[in-house]
C-alpha cells in the first residue's frame, strides 16, 4: 500500500517516543508499503514559540536567550536519546544547531522591530516542525532505512497568503507535491515532511492553522493518491464520549467523513477542522491510530456509503468555555437585516459563532461564542444595535455549555430528538437553546454548565453507546 503517516507532537515528544515512531515506520516499510511521513513539532514547542514571539515583541532579550538555550537543549537531548550512530548524531546536531541559530536571529530581529506581523509569526512557528523533521529522518537512517527530510514548502505545498490560517492552492500543490515526492518513493526513500507549514507562491512561509499537520498529511495523501492516511496520536481513536465524563465510553471502529467533520468542529480535539477535506474529496480513508498502542486498529474514517448504519447516534461531545448571547426586541419582528447586522458586527470583530438559533416569532436571536470573546462581543453589539428602536436588550449567560450529538443515522430517522430530550428531561435538566442543521447529522443544545456532564452520561446511556 501507499500510505501517508502523520505523527503528532505527543508521538515525538522525546527521544524514546521517536524510537517508537521509527519502529512503527520500519515495520510498515518492511511489509512492503510505500511511505510518506509527516511530523509535528515536539510536544509543546509550537505553544512555546508563540510565547517567545510575544516576549520578543516586547523586547525581552533575556527571555529569548533563555528560551533559545532551553529549546537547543531539548532538541539535542532528543537526538542523543533517539539516535545511536555517532556520525549521524553529529550530523543532525549540526543541522539542528544551525536552524536554532536562525531562530535566534529572527527573534532578536522581532525584538528590535517591536513588531510581530502574522507573516513573521508564521515564520517563527515554522521552526517547531523544521526542527523535528530532521531528527525523525535521522532516527530512520539510524535503523538502516533510507530517508530524506523536507519542509512542507520544499515538498511543494503552496498556499494563499492568509498567514496563520493559510489555504492550499490545491491544484498547484497536487502537481508540485507529486513531482517532488513520487521519484523518492520510486527509489524506496521515505520522505519525512514537516507538517503545518507551507509557503506562498512567492516563497514566504505560511502555516495552515493550529493542528495543521493533519491537514498537511491529507493534502500530501490527496496529491499522491495514496491508499490511506494514518494519523498517529496518543489515543486509540475517536471515542463515543470523553472517557473522563463517561468511563464506559468506547473507541469507534468506523465513522464517516461527515460525522468526523461534525465532531472535529465540535471540539473533539485533535483534528484540524479542514483536515479531512482533501481525503474526502479523493475518497482516501483516514485512520486515527495510537503510537503507544500500535496493535489497536484505531478509528477508520471513510465515505458514508461504506458504513454500517446500525447506530443512529455515534457520539456525544461536551463543549465548555462558551457563552450565550441573546438579542431581543419586538421591533425585530418583520424587520429584515437584523440578523445580518448582528453577525456582521461579530464578523468585523473577528468573533467566531459556534451555534445560532432564532425563534419563528423573530423576537429573539441567540448564539454562542467562545467565552473569552464575550466582553468584546457585548460592547460591539451594544454600540451598534441599541438605541435604534429595533433591538430592546442584549443579554449574556456565562455558565453554560453545549452538548452535541453526532450520527449520520439520525438523518431521516424520526424520534431521535424526542429520545434525546426525554433522556435529558428525566434527569431534571433544563434545555436553554437547541439547534439542528439541515444536514441532520448533528443536534446541538445548550444547558447550564453544571448539568453538562450528567446530560452527556444520560445521552450516552439512552443511545447505548457503550455497546
Ligand atoms: N505544531 C502545530 C501545532 O501545534 C501543528 C500540529 O501539531 O499539527 O498546532
Ligand atoms: Mg501539535
| CATH at residue 337 | 3.30.2130.10
224 with 363, same domain: the answer is no
Q: Does 162 map to a domain? A: yes
What is the per-residue pLDDT for 331? 80
The CATH number of whichever domain residue 32 belongs to comes to 3.40.1160.10
Would you state the cell numbers that stand for residue 75, as one nine-digit string?
Answer: 532538541
More reliable by pLDDT, 248 or 338: 248
100 with 198, same domain: the answer is yes
Res. 145: pLDDT tops 60: yes
What is the per-residue pLDDT for 61? 97
Q: Out of 234, 251, 274, pick the residue that ends a domain.
A: 234
What is the spatial distance between Cα 160 and Cα 209, in angstroms, rounded to a whole number?
A: 13
What is the spatial distance between Cα 155 and Cα 148, in angstroms, rounded to a whole number?
A: 11
What is the spatial distance between Cα 111 and Cα 417, in angstroms, rounded to a whole number?
A: 55
Give the closest residue (by CA) to ligand 1 atom 6.
211
Res. 422: pLDDT tops 60: yes
Q: Does 447 map to a domain? A: yes
Chain centroid to Cα 242, Å, comes to 17
How many structural domains is the chain composed of? 2
Q: Does 245 map to a domain? A: no
Confidence of residue 411 (pLDDT cuts 50, 70, 90): confident
214 with 75, same domain: the answer is yes
Res. 284: pLDDT tops 70: yes
pTM of the model: 0.87
Which of 43, 46, 164 is the best mutation target for the ligand 1 pocket, counting ligand atoms within 8 Å of the beta carbon and taking the most? 46
326 with 224, same domain: the answer is no
Res. 268: pLDDT tops 60: no
Residue 199 φ then ψ, to 5°: -150, 160
pLDDT tens figures, 187-236: 999 999 999 999 999 999 999 999 999 999 999 999 999 999 999 999 99
Nearest CA to 234 among 49, 40, 46, 70? 40
31 with 149, same domain: the answer is yes
Q: Out of 234, 253, 287, pick the residue that ends a domain.
A: 234
320 with 195, same domain: the answer is no
Res. 90: pLDDT tops 70: yes
Chain centroid to Cα 252, Å, comes to 19
Does residue 278 line the site of ligand 1, with CB under 6 A? no
Scanning the structure block, which residue is given the C-alpha cell 498567514?
163
What is the per-residue pLDDT for 131? 98
29 with 155, same domain: the answer is yes
Helix (H, G, I), strand (E, B) or coil at 428: coil
348 with 226, same domain: the answer is no
Radius of gyration of the chain (CA): 24
337 with 210, same domain: the answer is no
Res. 358: pLDDT tops 70: yes
Q: Does 354 map to a domain? A: yes
Residue 381 φ then ψ, to 5°: -70, -40
Confidence of residue 324 (pLDDT cuts 50, 70, 90): very high
Res. 298: pLDDT tops 70: yes
Nearest CA to 180 among 218, 216, 153? 153
Average pLDDT over residues 82-93: 98
Q: Does 193 map to a domain? A: yes
Q: Does 295 map to a domain? A: no
Q: Out of 217, 234, 251, pick the residue that ends a domain.
A: 234
Mean pLDDT of the chain: 93
Confidence of residue 263 (pLDDT cuts 50, 70, 90): confident
Does residue 46 line the site of ligand 1, with CB under 6 A? yes
Task: Report yes or no: 257 and 299 within 8 Å, Cβ to Cβ.
Answer: no
What is the per-residue pLDDT for 360? 77
Does residue 212 line the site of ligand 1, with CB under 6 A? yes
> What domain range is 205 assigned to?
2-234
Q: Which CA distances in Å does 244 have to 71, 104, 144, 317, 402?
A: 32, 40, 41, 12, 17
What is the per-residue pLDDT for 266? 63
Confidence of residue 51 (pLDDT cuts 50, 70, 90): very high
- Which ligand 1 atom is nearest residue 212's CA? 8
Give the closest residue (by CA) to ligand 1 atom 8.
211
Nearest CA to 249 among 443, 465, 434? 465
Average pLDDT over residues 340-364: 87
Q: Does 45 map to a domain? A: yes
Average pLDDT over residues 284-301: 95
What is the per-residue DSSP string for 302-359? E-GGGS----S--EEEEEEEEEEEEEE-GGGTT-TTHHHHHHHHHHHTT--EEEEEE-
Q: Does 13 map to a domain? A: yes
Nearest CA to 322 among 429, 424, 446, 431? 446
End-to-end CA distance of the chain: 32
Res. 128: pLDDT tops 80: yes
Res. 265: pLDDT tops 70: no
Res. 237: pLDDT tops 80: yes
pLDDT tens figures, 272-283: 878 999 999 999
Res. 150: pLDDT tops 80: yes
Ligand closest to the CA atom of residue 214: 1
Amino acid at each position: 500500500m501507499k500510505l501517508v503517516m502523520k505523527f503528532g507532537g505527543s508521538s515525538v515528544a522525546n527521544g524514546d517516543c521517536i524510537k517508537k515512531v521509527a519502529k512503527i515506520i520500519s515495520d510498515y516499510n518492511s511489509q512492503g508499503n510505500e511511505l510518506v511521513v509527516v511530523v509535528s513539532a515536539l510536544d509543546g514547542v509550537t505553544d512555546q514559540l508563540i510565547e517567545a514571539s510575544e516576549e520578543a515583541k516586547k523586547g525581552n532579550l533575556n527571555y529569548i536567550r533563555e528560551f533559545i538555550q532551553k529549546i537547543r537543549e531539548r532538541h539535542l537531548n532528543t537526538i542523543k536519546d533517539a539516535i545511536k550512530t555517532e556520525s549521524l548524531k553529529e550530523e543532525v546536531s549540526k543541522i539542528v544547531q544551525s536552524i536554532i541559530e536562525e531562530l535566534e536571529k529572527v527573534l532578536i530581529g522581532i525584538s528590535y522591530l517591536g513588531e510581530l506581523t502574522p507573516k513573521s509569526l508564521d515564520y517563527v512557528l515554522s521552526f517547531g516542525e523544521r526542527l523535528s523533521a530532521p531528527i525523525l529522518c535521522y532516527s530512520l537512517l539510524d535503523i538502516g532505512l533510507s530517508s530524506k527530510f523536507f519542509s512542507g514548502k520544499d515538498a511543494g505545498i503552496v498556499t494563499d497568503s492568509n498567514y496563520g490560517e493559510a489555504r492550499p492552492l490545491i491544484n498547484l500543490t497536487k502537481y508540485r507535491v507529486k513531482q517532488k515526492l513520487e521519484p523518492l518513493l520510486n527509489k524506496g526513500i521515505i520522505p519525512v515532511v514537516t507538517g503545518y507549514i507551507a509557503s506562498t507562491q512567492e516563497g514566504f512561509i505560511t502555516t495552515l492553522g493550529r493542528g495543521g499537520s493533519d491537514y498537511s498529511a491529507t493534502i500530501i495523501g490527496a496529491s499522491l493518491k495514496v491508499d490511506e492516511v494514518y494519523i498517529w496520536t496518543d489515543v486509540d481513536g475517536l471515542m463515543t464520549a470523553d472517557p473522563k465524563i463517561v468511563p464506559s465510553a468506547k473507541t469507534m471502529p468506523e465513522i464517516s467523513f461527515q460525522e468526523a467533520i461534525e465532531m472535529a468542529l465540535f471540539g473533539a480535539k485533535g483534528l484540524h477542522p479542514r483536515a479531512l477535506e482533501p481525503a474526502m474529496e479523493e475518497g482516501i480513508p483516514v485512520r486515527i491510530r495510537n503510537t503507544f498502542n500500535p496493535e489497536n486498529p484505531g478509528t477508520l474514517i471513510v465515505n458514508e456509503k461504506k458504513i454500517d448504519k446500525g447506530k443512529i447516534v455515534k457520539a456525544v461531545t461536551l463543549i465548555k468555555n462558551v457563552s450565550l448571547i441573546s438579542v431581543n426586541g419586538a421591533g425585530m419582528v418583520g424587520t429584515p437585516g437584523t440578523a445580518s447586522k448582528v453577525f456582521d458586527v461579530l464578523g468585523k470583530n473577528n468573533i467566531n459563532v459556534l451555534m445560532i438559533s432564532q425563534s419563528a416569532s423573530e423576537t429573539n436571536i441567540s448564539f454562542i461564542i467562545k467565552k473569552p470573546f464575550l466582553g468584546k462581543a457585548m460592547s460591539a453589539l451594544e454600540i451598534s444595535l441599541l438605541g435604534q428602536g429595533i433591538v430592546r436588550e442584549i443579554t449574556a449567560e456565562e455558565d453554560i455549555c453545549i452538548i452535541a450529538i453526532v450520527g449520520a443515522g439520525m438523518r431521516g430517522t424520526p424520534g431521535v430528538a424526542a429520545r434525546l430530550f426525554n433522556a435529558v428531561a428525566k434527569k431534571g435538566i433544563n434545555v436553554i437553546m437547541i439547534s439542528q442543521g439541515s444536514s441532520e447529522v448533528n443536534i446541538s443544545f445548550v444547558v447550564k454548565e453544571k448539568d453538562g456532564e450528567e446530560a452527556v452520561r444520560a445521552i450516552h446511556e439512552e443511545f447505548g453507546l457503550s455497546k
